Structure 1
Amino acid sequence: KGRAKGQAEGRIEGRVEGQAELLLLQIERRFGPVAGDVTQRVRCAQAKDLETWSLNFVDAATLDDVFGD
């Protein structure tokens, strides 16, 4: 039971890390080199924030548009 829970948590964590890395790649492709504070913000974000930012990215004209700042 504990092992299954740990595996499930690991899959979720891996998925969130993958979402963060993909978003960073997309940001770099569109807007150029990513500042350290942006990288840190994305890598420390919760899944809900990553989802919101990824959807915002589609229509974003600026980096601020991605984060809704």
Structure 2
Amino acid sequence: MESLLRYYVQGTGRLDETQVRRLLEQTLSGEPLMETFIDRYIAQGEQRGEQRGEQRGEQRGEAKILLRLIERKFGPPSETVRHRITAADSETLLEWSDRILEAQSLDEVLH
């Protein structure tokens, strides 16, 4: 079983050596290994999903604010501009949000 876990760790990188040791120690104390392994794997997936959801939520909020600022300063943005903004990552949105303060045109904001 230990060999199988080591193979999984090295192949996927989803668990580190310390986590595998803990799983094995729990098994020695009487807790079923596969249940522990599966529970831990599911918990990690849930945690990653929550983190991605939070990041995506922040990105949507940033895009919404930038679109509002653009509309107030330059008028309603085209669908192309809306799509570009909603598809941008948080770092890019922050950069564009900084530029809008001094930009004289929408082109200056997005380039």
- CA distance in 1 between partners of 2:88 and 2:48 (Å): 22
Query: In the TM superposition, what is the alpha-carbon distance from 1:11 to its structure 2 partner?
Result: 0.2
CA distance, structure 2, for counterparts of residue 27 and residue 63 of structure 1: 7
Q: Give the CA RMSD over aligned residues.
A: 0.9
Q: Which has the higher contact order (CA 8 A, sep 6+)?
A: 1
Query: Alpha-carbon deviation of 1:49?
Result: 1.2
1:11 correspondence with 2:75? no
The residue number in structure 2 matching 1:27 is: 70
Using the size of structure 2 for normalisation, the TM-score is: 0.58
2:101 aligned with 1:58: yes
Q: Give the number of the structure whose alpha-carbon radius of gyration is greater.
A: 2
Letter in 2 for 1:5: R
Gaps of 5+ in 2: 1-43
Q: CA deviation at 1:36?
A: 0.8
Q: Which amino acid aligns with 2:108?
A: D
Distance in structure 2 (CA, Å) of the matches to 1:36 and 1:2:
35
Deviations 1:3-55 (A, max 9, x none): 11111110000000110111001000111111111001101111221111011
Task: Give the TM-score normalised by structure 1.
Answer: 0.91
Q: How many residues are treated as equivalent by the alignment?
A: 68
Q: Which segments of structure 1 move beyond 4 Å, counting only runs of 4 or more?
A: none
